Amino acid sequence: MPNHWLLKTEPSTYSFADLQREGRARWDGVSNPVALRHLRTMHKGDQAFVYHTGKEKAIVGIARIVSDPYADPKHADPKLVVVDLEAVGSLSTPVTLAAIKADKQFAGFDLVRIPRLSVVPVSSAQWKALLALGG
């Protein structure tokens, strides 16, 4: 059974629309040790929500992890890893951070608890609930 994740991106730098247009991309630029630990536990076939930071603050799309983690080819530091992902589809309705914070079932969600974390695990129950909110 695949794991589920939430990947944050600043849409002015790289948006979900960019991923959809390209079809496939390397998810890089992660340097936080906790976020990197999460990246290292990803597997090909896992699914991820793509979350726009900045003014949007909303889950806007779904992606599939299409590679196991590997060393970031842009850096000599072997601790820095990346994964490749492909766009699956947009959510019918973006799920805003405000809506997530207002829903008690997400009180323990790392997106709410550790807001600066760029790679967040999503439980199966959270995944289903977020999919329902996103239509």
pLDDT tens digits, one per residue of 56-73:
999 999 999 999 999 999
**Separation CA 33–CA 118 (nearest Å):** 11
pLDDT tens digits, one per residue of 74-129:
988 888 999 999 999 999 999 999 999 999 999 999 999 998 899 999 999 999 99
Mean per-residue pLDDT, 38-44 = 96
The per-residue pLDDT for 62 is: 98
CATH of the domain at 45: 3.10.590.10
Q: Which domain holds residue 24?
A: 4-133
* 3-class DSSP assignment, residue 36: helix
Dihedral, CA of residue 129, residue 8, residue 123 and residue 47, to nearest 10: 90
Query: Which of 115, 109, 20 has the alpha carbon at shortest distance from 63?
Result: 20
Residue 1 banded pLDDT, cuts 50, 70, 90: low
- Does the predicted TM-score (pTM) go above 0.85? yes
Mean pLDDT for the chain?
A: 95
The per-residue pLDDT for 19 is: 97
* 3-class DSSP assignment, residue 35: helix
- Strand 4-9 to strand 47-52: parallel, antiparallel, or no bridges (unpaired)? parallel
Structurally, how many domains does the chain consist of? 1
Residue 43 has pLDDT above 80, yes or no: yes
